Amino acid sequence: MKLMTRLMGAAAIAVGSLASTPAFAEGGTLVIASTQVPRHLNGAVQSGIATAVPSTQIFASPLRYDENWEPQPYLAKSWDISEDGLSVTLNLVDNATFHDGKPVTSEDVAFSIMTTKENHPFKSMFAPVESIETPDAHTAVIKLSQPHPALLLALSPALAPVLPKHVFGDGQDAKSHPANSAPVGSGPFMLDEFKAGEVIVLKKNPNFFLEGRPKLDEIIVRIIKDPSALLIAMENGEADIYPFMAGSQEIRRLEKADHLAITDQGYAAVGPINWLAFNTASEKLKDVRVRQAIAYATDRDFITKALHRGVSKQQRSPIIESSPFFDETIPAYDTDLDKAKALMAEAGYADGMDLTIDYIPGPKEQQQSVAEYLKSQLKKIGINLTVRAAPDFPTWAGRVGGHDFELTMDVVFNWGDPVIGVHRTYLSSNIRKGVIWSNTQQYANAKVDELLNAAAVEQDADKRKALYAEFQQIVAQDVPIYWINSLPYHTAYDKKLKNVPTGIWGTMHPMDMVEWSE
C-alpha cells in the first residue's frame, strides 16, 4: 500500500511537471468543458447547445452576428433583400472549401437550407422558404412565400450550418445520417475524434477561407456530466472555458479562482427562460383567475435572490428581457398573497385545491428547487401541490407533450428571433399532442394568433416591435405561462484567453478569433 502510494505520488509529480510546461505550441489547445451531451455534431438537424457549440466550429454558415445583433458576412460576403421581402440573395465567397477539399458552392447552401427546413425541429425558421435558386456557383437566391424578417438571424452558424451536398445529399435520411457523427464542413475547425458522450477533438482547418484564422490549433470539448467534477477540472486547468454555467454554487465557486474570469455575456440570442407552465385545458387551470392567483403568490424575488443566490435575473415576459422586442410595461405580478387568495375565492376555490407539478430533470436549482419552493409557497393560498418527479427527460417529455400534467417547470429558449423560439409556445396552430416544446399549454387566443402571424411577416422593425408589445400584454394577462427568470448562464474562462466569444450566440459561434495571450 505504502509503496503504491509512493509510486503514484512519483507519477503524479512526473505528470504534474509535464502538464505545467506548456505542452502546446503557438496556437495551442482550448479545452471546453460541458455538462451537455450532444447526440451528434450536425446542427442542421438537431437543436440545442450541446450540438451547436461543436457544430458552429465545424460548419460555416451564410452569416454570423456581432454583439449588437448586426449580421456580418461569413460564407456570404454580401446579401440583398428584395423590396417585397420575398427574395433574399446571398453572394458567396469564392475561396471557401470543405474539409475534404471540395469547394463550397451555392448548391451546398441551397441543399443545406432545404435540409434544415425539412429536418430541424424549429419549423418556423425556414417555413416560408419555397425554393432556393442557384444562378451561379456563388449566388443563392432564397424565394419566400411571405416576408420573413427572422430569416437573417436563422442564417446564423447555430441554425444554418452549410453542409456539403456531396456528403449529405446521398439519399440517406439526414436525421440519422452517419456523417452527423463524422461531419465534414467548411468551418474553422475539423473533426479529429468524436467519442460520443465523452470528448470531441477538433483540429485547426489549415485551409479556412478567412485569412489568418483560426488562431488555435485545437479545440477539445470535454463532456463532464458531474458538476463538481467539472468544477475541479476548471480549477485545475484541465479545462479552459466553461460556457452555459447556470448553477449559483458553480458561479460563486469559480469566481474565487484566481486564474478564471466570469462573464454573463454571450447569451442574448439564446434567451433561456425558466418558467412555470399551466395546462390551460385542465379543469382547474382553465380559469384564468387561478393562474393569476398562482402568479401573484409566486415570489420571483425570493427565487432569484434566495434560491438562486442572486445570480439569475427576473423574467416577466415570453420574450427575453435582453431582446429588442421586450416590452417593459408588461405587468409583473408583484407578490400579493391577499390578492391571490381573493382570486382563488372568486374562482370558487376558497377552500383550496390539489394540484401537481412536474419539472424537467436537470439542473436542480432552476427546476426542482423552484417546484419544491412552490410546494411550500402555494400552501399559503390553499393549494396543496404535489411534486411529481420524473426520473428522466423522456418521462417528463412524455407527460408534458402528452398534455398529461397540471403545472410544470420548464426551460425554453427564445433562439434569437421570436418567430423561432417564442411563437411555437403560444400559437394555437401549434397545439400538437406528443410534441414537446410545442404549445403544450393548449393556450388558444385568436388575437394572439393574429398578432404573432402579423409580426412574423412585418419587415418594419418598429411596427414589428409594437405587434410583439401587444402580444406580450395579452399573454401576461392570460398567464398560460408564468415566466420566472432567465437562466443565469455564465461563462468561466481562463484569463489568458483572448477574444472569448461574448456575442449574441456566445460559444455557439465560430471561435476562429480565440487565442492564448502568451
Partner 1 sequence: MSSSYLLRRTGYGLLLMLGVVVLNFLLIRLAPGDPAVVIAGEMGGATEEMLESIREEYGLNKPVLTQLAIYVGNVLQGNLGESFFFNQPVSKLIADRIGPTILLVITAQLMSIALGVFLGVIAARKPNGAMSAFVSVFATIGYAVPVFWTGIMLIILFASSFPIFPVEGMQSVKLRDAAWYVQTIDILHHLVLPAFTLAIIYLAQYARLSRASMLEVLGSDYIRTARAKGASEKSVLFKHALRNAALPILTVAGLQFGNLISGALLVETVFNWPGMGRLAFDSILRRDYPTIMGVLFFASAMVVIANILTDISYRWADPRLRGRS
Partner 2 sequence: MTDQTTQSSYKAESPALEAWRMFRRNIPALVGVALLAVIVGATLYGTFFYAGDPFEVVWAPHEPPGVTPDFPLGTDYLGRNLMAGMLTGGGPTLTVGAAAAAITMVIGITLGALAGYYGGWVDNLLMRITEFFQVLPALLFAMVLVTLFSPSLWTIAIAIGVVSWPQTARLTRAEFLKIKELEYVTAARAIGARNKRIIWRVILPNAMPPLIVSATLTIGVAILFEAGLSFLGLGDPNVMSWGLMIGANREYILDAWWPVTFPGLAIFFTVFAVSLIGDGLNDAFNPKLRER
Q: What is the DSSP letter of 93?
A: -
Determine which residue in the list 119, 282, 369, 442 makes contact with partner 2, applying CB under 8 A: 369
If one asks whether residue 37 binds partner 2 (CB under 8 A), the answer comes out as no
Asked whether the beta carbons of 423 and 123 are under 8 A apart, the reply is no
Determine which residue in the list 2, 3, 18, 338 makes contact with partner 1, applying CB under 8 A: 18
Question: Could you give the string, one character per residue 270-299, with x where binding to partner 1 holds by CB under 8 A and - elsewhere?
Answer: ------------------------------
The packing angle between helices 288-297 and 461-478, to 10°, is 90
Asked whether the beta carbons of 188 and 57 are under 8 A apart, the reply is yes
If one asks whether residue 7 binds partner 2 (CB under 8 A), the answer comes out as no
Q: Which residues contact 336 (CB under 8 A, 6 or more apart)?
A: 296
Strand partners, 32: 221, 241
Q: How many CA atoms lie within 13 A of 78 on its CB side?
A: 1
If one asks whether residue 370 binds partner 1 (CB under 8 A), the answer comes out as no
Residue 200's binding partner among partner 1, partner 2, none (Cβ under 5 to 8 angstroms by kind) is none
Determine which residue in the list 44, 45, 295, 371 makes contact with partner 1, applying CB under 8 A: 45
Determine which residue in the list 426, 437, 471, 489 makes contact with partner 1, applying CB under 8 A: 437
Question: Could you give the string, one character per residue 269-308, with x where binding to partner 2 holds by CB under 8 A and - elsewhere?
Answer: -------------------------------------xx-
Nearer to partner 2, 31 or 233 (CB): 233
Nearer to partner 2, 321 or 358 (CB): 358
Tell me how far apart the alpha carbons of residues 33 and 244 are, in angstroms, rounded to a whole number.
10
Q: How many CA atoms lie within 13 A of 232 on its CB side?
A: 6
Asked whether the beta carbons of 291 and 480 are under 8 A apart, the reply is yes
* Grid coordinates of 256: 474565487
Q: What is the DSSP letter of 187?
A: S
| Pairing label, strands 353-359, 407-413 | parallel
Q: What one-letter code names the amino acid at 157?
A: P
If one asks whether residue 123 binds partner 1 (CB under 8 A), the answer comes out as yes
| Residue 103: how many other CB atoms lie within 10 Å | 17
* Grid coordinates of 100: 475534404
From the centroid of its chain, how far is CA 269?
8
Determine which residue in the list 86, 114, 435, 444 makes contact with partner 1, applying CB under 8 A: 435
Residue 436's binding partner among partner 2, partner 1, none (Cβ under 5 to 8 angstroms by kind) is partner 1
Identify which range of 94-102, 151-159, 258-266, 429-437 contacts partner 1 by CB under 8 A.
Answer: 429-437
Task: Encode burial over 401-427: b for 16+ CB neighbours within 10 A, e otherwise.
Answer: beeebbbbbbbbbbbbbbbbbbbbbbb
Question: Could you give the string, one character per residue 317-356, with x where binding to partner 2 holds by CB under 8 A and - elsewhere?
Answer: ----------------------------------------
453, 459, 465, 466 alpha-carbon torsion, rounded to 10°: -70
Tell me how far apart the alpha carbons of residues 156 and 395 are, in angstroms, rounded to a whole number.
32
**Least spacing, CB of residue 352 vs partner 2, in Å:** 18
If one asks whether residue 190 binds partner 2 (CB under 8 A), the answer comes out as no
Give the phi and the psi of residue 243 in degrees, each rounded to 5: -85, 170
If one asks whether residue 238 binds partner 2 (CB under 8 A), the answer comes out as no
**Least spacing, CB of residue 468 vs partner 2, in Å:** 36
Nearer to partner 1, 179 or 353 (CB): 179
If one asks whether residue 190 binds partner 1 (CB under 8 A), the answer comes out as no
| Residue 137: how many other CB atoms lie within 10 Å | 14
Asked whether the beta carbons of 125 and 23 are under 8 A apart, the reply is no
Measured between alpha carbons, how far is residue 179 from residues 163, 167, 203, 218 in Å?
Answer: 10, 7, 17, 21
Q: What is the DSSP letter of 226?
A: S
Nearer to partner 1, 225 or 380 (CB): 225
**Least spacing, CB of residue 398 vs partner 1, in Å:** 6
Nearer to partner 1, 19 or 332 (CB): 19
Identify which range of 145-153, 386-394, 445-453, 462-470 contacts partner 2 by CB under 8 A.
Answer: 386-394
Identify which range of 98-106, 117-125, 129-137, 293-301 contacts partner 1 by CB under 8 A.
Answer: 117-125
Tell me how far apart the alpha carbons of residues 16 and 49 are, in angstroms, rounded to a whole number.
33
**Least spacing, CB of residue 365 vs partner 2, in Å:** 8
**Least spacing, CB of residue 162 vs partner 2, in Å:** 39
Determine which residue in the list 66, 94, 196, 386 makes contact with partner 1, applying CB under 8 A: 196
Helix (H, G, I), strand (E, B) or coil at 132: strand
Residues near partner 2 (CB under 8 A) are 226-228, 231-232, 247, 249, 253, 306-307, 309, 361, 364-365, 369, 372-373, 375-376, 386-389, 391-392, 395
Note the residues at the interface with partner 1 (CB under 8 A).
Answer: 1, 8-9, 11-12, 14-15, 18-19, 23-24, 29, 31, 37, 39-40, 42, 45-48, 121-123, 173, 175-178, 180-181, 195-199, 201, 220, 222, 224-226, 228-230, 232-233, 236, 238-239, 361, 391-395, 397-398, 401, 432, 434-438
